[in-house]
Structure 1
């Protein structure tokens, strides 16, 4: 093809066409995964949307032959006796790729994560790689990453647990006391997942699991928890008096502080070029909104009550 000028031009044209299609798909995926409208609750009442994360996607993985070979070589047993158990493990992995947005989905991810611990202890010795590659895609950009290390698989599953908690938190009806309590709990657990990931998994090949991104996600989840705390206070304190207004002003100011910190984190490289524009805009708007609320309630306290 390279010696025929006409064929070379045709190939280059087709390649540019394919690449432009890939770019369009990538942009559509980024828009879908970064949209704050997805996973919100279905209530007709107006509520400020929370920021959820999309789950990381992964490819199919066939562990049958690598595990059977290891069983035969390392343990000296008939590998055919363990086909049923290997198939059960692979079925579990397939199921955890599409968990339901509920406690059942979280339990499924946790079950698979726990199985990976035992798999790592018995079948993934550091001195002998199995030759198995784990493929996962970035949760925001869709960019693929690949590693042999089982730690990448464990980290990706843990990331999906955190992402699933954000989706559960975002879909709650925060006009009710129970809904806002559930949302607070979900975002706290999401922060815990991302913080554990930041402290225990290093050298992640994908941007969403880098230390800088995880630090930003932890702060974002903490801010959304604080926003839920403010909403909970409003629901629990309906009386209009001096003390209540001052306390609301304080709670709103606290929310503004944490969202301002999140915004500064998002504006710092390398996160700045990675975080979706809709996220940074929403965080900036929320910081200004709660700053205004704090002034409003402080003014109410000072002007309406002697």
Structure 2
């Protein structure tokens, strides 16, 4: 009796690769006005003049987060925007937790596998962990979308998979332990 799996190199052919890896689902999030909550925090904690001096960063954060939620954007554009958003999150991380703020942002993310479950926290590490997960998933999708026939396509796919591995590694090494996940089931039993 033959084994139930392919035993030759056909497993790595361009037509079977997407079937093996599948398209990893992306985490979804609720819209959030980061600009308002962060600006009010800067005014309360520091001063109006400091809040004005960081308005550009706050507006960029808000814009990048909104773009992150748009499914119709191309994969490379979404990846690039997520990378920039992650860098901006790293810049504002020292201001969290925002205990003194009357209106701290609540980050809500839905489970990628089971969208009925979601987590919501004031913790910026939940946001960073979810962004890293989506970066890994998007890079995997980019790799799967490459034409593997020419050598250039295989190199692009390899680079994208290496990038995905790096994002998932950052997620598991740094953010997963800092974002205690509290899952909420939105279905009624």
TM-score (norm 2): 0.73
Counterpart selection for 1:161 from 126, 131, 135: 135
Aligned residues: 161
Q: What is the CA distance between 1:83 and its match in structure 2?
A: 8.8
Aligned to 1:58: 29
- Aligned partner of residue 17 in structure 2, secondary structure: coil
Q: Which has the higher strand share?
A: 2
Aligned to 1:145: 119
Aligned to 1:182: 156
Q: What is the CA distance between 1:125 and its match in structure 2?
A: 4.4
Q: CA RMSD in A?
A: 2.6
Q: What is the CA distance between 1:140 and its match in structure 2?
A: 1.7
| Unpaired segments ≥5 residues, structure 2 | 1-12, 184-189
| Unpaired segments ≥5 residues, structure 1 | 1-44, 208-306
- Hey, what's the Cα distance between the residues in 1 that align with 2:182 and 2:26? 13
Residue 179 and residue 93 in structure 1: after superposition, are their counterparts in 2 closer, same or farther (change >3 A)? same
Residue 47 and residue 68 in structure 1: after superposition, are their counterparts in 2 closer, same or farther (change >3 A)? closer
The structure whose Rg is larger is 1
Q: Is the Cα–Cα contact under 8 Å of residues 106 and 164 in structure 1 kept in the other structure?
A: yes
- Hey, what's the Cα distance between the residues in 2 that align with 1:156 and 1:180? 28
Q: Is the Cα–Cα contact under 8 Å of residues 54 and 139 in structure 1 kept in the other structure?
A: yes
Aligned to 1:252: none
TM-score (norm 1): 0.47
- Aligned partner of residue 146 in structure 1, secondary structure: strand
Q: What is the CA distance between 1:145 and its match in structure 2?
A: 1.3
Aligned to 1:118: 91
After the TM superposition, which residues 156-235 of structure 1 pair with which residues of structure 2 at under 5 Å, given as runs?
156-201=130-175, 202=177, 203-205=179-181
Aligned to 1:87: 59
- Hey, what's the Cα distance between the residues in 1 that align with 2:182 and 2:138? 18
- Hey, what's the Cα distance between the residues in 1 that align with 2:37 and 2:99? 15
- Hey, what's the Cα distance between the residues in 1 that align with 2:151 and 2:63? 39
Q: Is the Cα–Cα contact under 8 Å of residues 34 and 61 in structure 2 kept in the other structure?
A: no
- Hey, what's the Cα distance between the residues in 2 that align with 1:191 and 1:180? 16
- Hey, what's the Cα distance between the residues in 2 that align with 1:185 and 1:46? 16
